[in-house]
Amino acid sequence: MRSAKTLVFCLCLVPALVLVWDSVTGGLSVNPIEDITHRTGDWSLRFVLLTLAVTPFRWLSGWNEVIRYRRMLGLFTFWYASLHFSTYIVFDHFFDIRSIADDVIERKYVTAGFLGFVLMVPLAVTSTQGWIRRLGKRWSVLHRLIYVAAVAGVVHFLWLVKLETSEPLVYAAVLSGLFLVRVVRRKLTRAAGHRVPSGETPATF
């Protein structure tokens, strides 16, 4: 199991390593800052969808061990989102807080992205076993914010691209499908007279 986790961890690092390699070898586009921003944003979206897909995949496949990778995927979601946000702050605005605040207020795609990132911060902070014990049932309630963060991320991408909407619409379709699986399973479980297991409710970090 440890070797499998190590393998998954290394695979999660691949996009970042490819980005570093392209940065060093000149493999980025003519606008490297924009390229880095887009790539890190794309991967944060992909990882949040992977995180949300873990529990439905567990239900459909019966492979319970996959749940062990959910927290790792969630933390990599936050890591790539942090790289995305840091690139925006450092290279786009050079730490100009007033300019960043104006952007967040005036540009709705920035507002959506900022909201999604802010919502992920408490999820990453409380991802440890210690916080799970401290918060008890409130931990599951808190970690439902991952759904809102995922929606905000997809909306951020959709509003950003404006015309070329095919990619964000694919993400939106995948996210909708994951939500649908959860809703259907919840209804089937209740129809069968069973309680929905509390530990399976949020797709968490």
Amino acid at 91: F
Instruction: Look up the pTM and report it.
Output: 0.90
In a domain, 42, yes or no: yes
What is the domain extent for residue 39? 2-200
Percent share of the chain, pLDDT over 90: 72
In a domain, 164, yes or no: yes
In a domain, 205, yes or no: no
In a domain, 36, yes or no: yes
User: How does residue 198 score in pLDDT terms, banded at 50, 70 and 90?
Assistant: very low
Task: Please report which residue ranges of the chain form alpha helices under DSSP H.
Answer: 2-25, 32-61, 70-87, 97-106, 108-125, 129-135, 137-142, 145-161, 166-191
In a domain, 108, yes or no: yes
What do you get for the CA distance between the two ends of the chain, in Å?
Answer: 19
- Inform me whether the pLDDT recorded for 105 exceeds 60: yes
Region 60-72: mean pLDDT is: 91
Number of domains in the chain: 1
Predicted pLDDT at 199: 46
Region 139-151: mean pLDDT is: 94
Amino acid at 36: I
In a domain, 126, yes or no: yes
